[in-house]
């Protein structure tokens, strides 16, 4: 018999193969948010073609109903893009209704198409575009997640996002740099510029560099058995045997860490909390 009150009872458990999840472990321990979702949709509704946030993995279990999935491996991404809009990654919206004049390459795409029944779970690999149609009324549970394996892909995707935001705010950069040109500290604008870019990145996708590195620090601490805040009601600690060897984890983190320190943007010099968390990560590496 279960003695927990209804509000404390988990109504499902995350399957072991999806438990090495750095995003939900971190968010459950440190924030009021997470990357766990319930999808409820009537027959005929659909989720348009997309790639999950920052190329995270997702898994999705159908509690009831049937869904049809179209999945495109990353090497087919160029075939999904609008003609002439390549740099904005503007893709097809609904794979069942594509205008060949606007998306001339799409006819060559060869998606994996599957039907998911009640009680069945699907794993969506990193960076795969996908579309989902509810064939009947559906309820499903879905997590976005990452770990040491897809961390480099998330890191690259964060870099690309920051560059995209920088380009779109180029006029703001000009205004800031011109305003401080004849002042005693002509470089003063750079800190403000970096802060504005990070703020927009966070508003767009829910996290920025400081969050990314805090999550990495949290995961590394847990994998190394260090004392670290957790919220066991929301995310019980992941058994060590469900994680890869620590050398593998450190190698993956080190690759991103070394690259981050070489970034021309030098965010680490302008955002105080970044310097602090990177110091903490470095101490564990
Ligand atoms: O079930 C849906 O409608 C969308 C699910 C999805 O996009 C995902 O699990 O990544
Ligand atoms: Fe998705």
**Other Cβ atoms closer than 10 A to 45:** 13
Q: Measure CA 166 to chain center.
A: 19
Which tokens in the block code for residue 174?
């000009």
Instruction: Give distance in angstroms: CA of 272 to centre of ligand 1.
Output: 37
* Of the ranges 189-203, 245-259, 269-283, the best mean pLDDT one: 245-259
Lowest average pLDDT, out of 53-57, 93-97, 178-182, 235-239, goes to: 178-182
Which of 125, 142, 145 to mutate for ligand 1's pocket (most ligand atoms within 8 Å of CB)?
Answer: 142
Which tops the pLDDT comparison, 76 or 11? 76
Question: pLDDT tens-digit profile of 41-76?
Answer: 999 999 999 999 889 999 999 999 999 999 999 999
Identify which of 150, 145, 153, 268 has the alpha carbon closest to the alpha carbon of residue 213: 268
Give the span between the Cα atoms of 15 and 8, in whole angstroms. 19
Domains of the chain as residue ranges with CATH: 35-145 (2.60.120.650), 151-284 (no CATH)
Q: Are 244 and 238 in contact (CB under 8 A)?
A: no
Q: Across the chain, where does the E strand assignment appear? A: 36-41, 46-50, 57-64, 67-72, 112-116, 121-124, 129-134, 138-145
Which of 140, 143, 146, 150 to mutate for ligand 1's pocket (most ligand atoms within 8 Å of CB)?
Answer: 140
Residue 207 has pLDDT above 90, yes or no: no
């Amino acid at each position: 018999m279960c003695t927990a009150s209804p509000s404390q009872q988990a109504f499902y458990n995350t399957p072991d193969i999806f438990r090495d999840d750095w995003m939900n472990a971190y968010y459950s321990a440190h924030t009021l948010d997470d990357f766990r979702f319930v999808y409820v949709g009537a027959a005929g509704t659909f989720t348009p073609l997309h790639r999950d946030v920052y190329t995270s993995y997702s898994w999705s279990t159908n509690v009831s109903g049937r869904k049809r999935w179209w999945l495109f491996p990353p090497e087919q991404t160029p075939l999904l893009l609008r003609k002439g809009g390549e740099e904005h990654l503007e893709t097809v919206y609904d794979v069942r209704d594509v205008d060949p004049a606007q998306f001339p390459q799409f006819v060559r795409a060869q998606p994996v198409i599957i039907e998911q029944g009640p009680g069945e779970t699907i794993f969506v690999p990193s960076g795969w575009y996908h579309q989902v149609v509810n064939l009947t009324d559906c309820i499903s549970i879905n997590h976005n997640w990452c770990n040491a394996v897809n961390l480099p892909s998330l890191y690259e995707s964060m870099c690309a996002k920051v560059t995209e935001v920088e380009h779109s705010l180029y006029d703001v950069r000009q205004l800031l740099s011109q305003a401080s040109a004849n002042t005693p500290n002509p470089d003063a604008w750079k800190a403000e510029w970096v802060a504005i870019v990070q703020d927009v990145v966070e508003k767009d996708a829910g996290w920025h560099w400081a969050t990314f590195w805090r999550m990495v620090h949290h995961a590394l601490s847990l994998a190394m058995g260090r004392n670290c805040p957790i919220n066991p009601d929301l995310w019980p600690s992941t058994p060590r045997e469900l994680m890869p060897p620590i050398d593998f984890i450190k190698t993956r983190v080190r690759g991103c860490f070394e690259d981050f320190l070489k970034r021309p943007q030098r965010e680490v010099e302008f955002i105080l909390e970044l310097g602090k968390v990177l110091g903490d990560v470095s101490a564990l590496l």
